[in-house]
Amino acid sequence: MKHRKFAALAGFLCAALATAGCAMGPSASGSFDRTLSVNGPIRLELNNTSGDVSITGSADGKVHVHADARASGMGFESPEKRMSDLLANPPIEQHGNTVRIGEELRRLRNVHVSYVIEVPRDTEVASSVISGTQSIQDVRGPVKAEAASGSIRVSHIERQTQLSTLSGSIRADNIGDDIRANSASGTVTVSNIKGDVRISALSGSTQITKPGGRVDASTASGSLDVEGATSDVKAHAASGSVNVRGNPGASSYWDLKTASGSVQLGVPATASFHLAAEAISGEIKTDIPIVVEERGKHSLRARVGSGNGGRVEVHTVSGEIRLRAS
């Protein structure tokens, strides 16, 4: 499943490179502004080949679009002609409460457009950018944003959020529902998530703070850090450390694994759970009181506290396992 996700993103990048073309040669620049009246919840669909995008929720009930554009490079038409066509017919369509931006730019080569967009707070966003950063904040959502090359930053989204990038960082905070993030190369940082967290990364560190629901995070190369976990946690790393701090609930299951790297587990002194730990090549250390049920050379089964809480299973092939007070 993970490989199919990143294969789709790779196909997106190939299409991007084919569309972008060569940006050398003369250039022309310009800008345009549009204000659209809408009624009720809206859906914003944005496609951009090259350029940064900022989308912010506002309270005036209208859609405001400001764009700075630049046409460059050689082609069948001069940069001046391409820019003139763009300014005369900005790539903005409105069908009822659905607003589409950038769709017509696919036919124009070597055109860079940066957008600053204000929308009503009750807006659903679907944003796709080939090269450029994206910032989306203060909208109800759902939000779906993807990039081939560029960072994605979202904050204060009320509903489900999905973020994907091939090359670039992902940062999300204050999400009122579930979040799903996929990154091929770049750090992923999420915090204050009310729902479940699902993150898949190939290369780059992942940091999750204050998840409200379950955590399912995996990385091929990079560290995994989870802070404030209280529900189920699945944290798997092929190469990198795994650090989880929190308190397993009565019915929680924590599954922590890494092939090459250490596993650090931090829990409060009042925590209560069953622990099963295995370190194929490394030590198992505990800095808090436990009741040992079974101990082997590289394994440990024990109760922490009364043992009436959840289950915590920890496994590493090469590296130590350490249990300490948070």
Q: What is the pLDDT of residues 269-280, one digit of tens each?
A: 889 999 999 999
Could you tell me what percent of the chain has a pLDDT over 70? 89
Does the pLDDT at position 12 exceed 60? no
d(CA 66, CA 26): 24
For 256-290, letters b (16+ CB in 10 Å) and e give bbbbebbbbbbbeeebbbbbebbbeebebebebeb
Collect all residues with Cβ–Cβ distance below 8 Å to 19 and sequence separation of at least 6: 49, 106, 109, 130
Q: 110: closest CA among 67, 197, 51, 154?
A: 51
The DSSP H or E segment spanning 53 is strand 53-58
Per-residue pLDDT band at 27 (split at 50, 70, 90):
confident
Mean pLDDT of 13-24: 45
DSSP H helical segments within the chain, as ranges?
A: 2-20, 79-88
More confident residue, 15 or 208: 208
More confident residue, 6 or 271: 271
d(CA 134, CA 53): 5
Does the pLDDT at position 92 exceed 90? yes
Does the pLDDT at position 179 exceed 60? yes
The confidence score (pLDDT) of residue 14 equals 47
Does the pLDDT at position 88 exceed 70? yes
d(CA 244, CA 266): 6
Does the pLDDT at position 15 exceed 50? no
Name the DSSP class of 286.
E
Q: What token pair was written down for 253? A: 């299951």
> Which of 75-84, 239-248, 294-303 is predicted with the least confidence, judged by mean pLDDT?
75-84
Per-residue pLDDT band at 73 (split at 50, 70, 90):
confident
More confident residue, 108 or 114: 114
SS3 288: coil
Does the pLDDT at position 81 exceed 60? yes
Mean pLDDT of 55-77: 87
Q: 172: closest CA among 148, 214, 144?
A: 144
Residue 169 to residues 47, 54, 62, 225, Cα–Cα distance (Å):
19, 16, 30, 16
Does the pLDDT at position 153 exceed 80? yes
Q: What angle do CA 43, 44, 46 make, to 5 degrees?
A: 150
d(CA 19, CA 32): 23
Return the bridge partners of 113, or none.
Answer: 69
The confidence score (pLDDT) of residue 106 equals 57
Per-residue pLDDT band at 13 (split at 50, 70, 90):
very low
The confidence score (pLDDT) of residue 108 equals 60
Beta carbons within 10 angstroms of residue 251's beta carbon: 10
Mean pLDDT of 290-301: 92
- Whether the CB-CB separation of 43 and 98 falls below 8 Å is answered with yes
Mean pLDDT of 15-28: 54
The confidence score (pLDDT) of residue 326 equals 83
> Which of 13-17, 133-137, 308-312 is predicted with the least confidence, judged by mean pLDDT?
13-17
Mean pLDDT, rounded, of the chain? 89
Does the pLDDT at position 2 exceed 70? no
For the whole model, what pTM was predicted?
Answer: 0.88
Collect all residues with Cβ–Cβ distance below 8 Å to 3 and sequence separation of at least 6: none
The confidence score (pLDDT) of residue 222 equals 92
